[in-house]
Amino acid sequence: MNRSREGSEDRPALLGGRPVRPEGPPVWPGANAAVEEALRRAAAAGLWGRYHSEQSEALSAELAEFFQVPHVLLCASGTLAVEAALRACGVGAGDEVLLAAYDYEGNFLSVHAVGAVPVLVDVTALSWQLDAELLAAAASPRVKAVICSHLHGGIVDMPAVLELARQRGWYVIEDAAQAIGGQLQGRRLGSWGDIGVVSFGGSKLVAAGRGGALLCHEARLAQRLRLWLRRGPQEWAALSELQAAVVRPQLEQLPARTAQRAARAARLEAALAPFGALRRLAPLETPQTQPAFYKLGWDYDAAAFGLSRAHFLAALQAEGIAIAPGFRALHLHRSPSRYRAASPLRHATDAHHRCVLLHHPVLLGSEEDVLQIAQAVAKIHRYRQELAALPLPAPALSAD
Ligand SMILES: *Cc1c(COP(=O)(O)O)cnc(C)c1O
């Protein structure tokens, strides 16, 4: 075939061709009639001017039911919830907190915010989640708590973490900000830890612009959370009635949406398999386990594909696909005086360099929407040599 006579839609958008998705990625949140109706009713009832009232009370009860936990506290964000959890667990100056070296940066900073020292633990080779087997070697008399974040469609081995934490007297803070709706062995992610955290941030799977919740088993810990979230009678970092009103219908929609996203993720995995360069982060293979996909994470093998990660991502973004690099690993480009490294952090370093993240909204679209991603990847693969010659600015790493 004569390349020069190919239609322009066959060339990558970055080389002047027509993008696979000229309209760009799907917007988030999409139109949601149930949310609009809930807002209309809340406004008509005057709830926009109220403090703590019927919507937040109903939401707390619904979250307690959904997660099967006795105590739920609503608050202003997931980040704030992590700090509240650390404080309720009594973590303070001189204490240590274990967390994965590949984790949400806010968690690392929250440990500092309470005056404690982050102790970085490597992630597993194939799933890039906190490696429970390395926790024992990271122990010290100063460790008070472990933060476990389920990231990018992966799931931390919570039974293994909890077993060790129980022996050592450590608290477990489970960050399910990326995994709301997921399950491990029939139990909701977020309900495994002593305290679980979810986020209702604007990009998250259940979105209220901002907001978060704390899920808690023990009355004593719940009381400490409640005290910290109040100054006298005032809740100083509350979720508003209107935020609660928009979360409630989304919680109802969540199980069906979680199943649809999982089905689309599986379809995409199959469609990308022929390239041999994109491996989905390994799932935890236990019964009654269902991941949730705030981001769908992949291990991108630049050498196998024949294109740097930066070029690959820039080319896919130009096709109208919402894809980005993963997190910056916490031990890289940061002073070692700000953490203790419990072990070599080899896999976290790999995750830093190789992770690519597909943003979730496309997983609620049609099968055609996810197949377009494979089409775009195919096009980029055909033109990889030409693309590799393009000068590119360094990409920003994912912040959320
Ligand atoms: C988004 C996120 C948070 C923080 O939630 P906010 O509500 O945005 O503060 C915490 N942990 C992880 C893993 C996240 O992805």
* Amino acid at site 37: E
| Helix, strand and coil in the chain, % to nearest 5 | 45, 15, 40
pLDDT of 129 above 80 = yes
Is 0.85 surpassed by the pTM of this model?
yes
Please work out whether the CB of residue 178 comes within 6 Å of at least one atom of ligand 1.
yes
Q: Which atom of ligand 1 is nearest to the CA of 150?
A: 13
Give tens-digit pLDDT for 9-20: 589 999 999 999
pLDDT for the residue 396: 64
274-304, pLDDT tens digit by residue? 999 999 999 888 999 999 999 999 999 999 9
**How many CA atoms lie less than 13 Å away from 54 in the CB half-sphere?**
8
Model confidence at 33, pLDDT cuts 50, 70, 90, reads: very high
Whether 153 lines ligand 1, by a CB cut-off of 6 Å, is no
Considering only CA atoms, which of 219, 214, 298, 290 is closest in space to residue 257? 290
CB of 175 closer than 6 angstroms to any ligand 1 atom: yes
pLDDT, mean over the chain: 95
For residue 4, the model assigns a pLDDT of 45
For ligand 1, pick from 83, 147, 155, 400 the residue to mutate: most ligand atoms within 8 Å of CB.
Answer: 400
**What is the per-residue pLDDT across 41-64, written as a single tens digit (0 to 9) for each?**
999 999 999 988 899 999 999 999
Contact 140, 119 (CB under 8 A): yes
Range 97-123 average pLDDT:
98
Provide the pLDDT confidence category of residue 367 given band limits of 50, 70 and 90: very high
CA 299 to chain centre: 16
Q: Which two tokens stand for residue 172?
A: 């477990």
Cβ contact 112:88 at 8 Å: no
Q: pLDDT tier at 210 (50, 70, 90 boundaries)?
A: very high
pLDDT computed for residue 1 by the predictor: 42
* CB neighbourhood size of 256 (10 A): 10
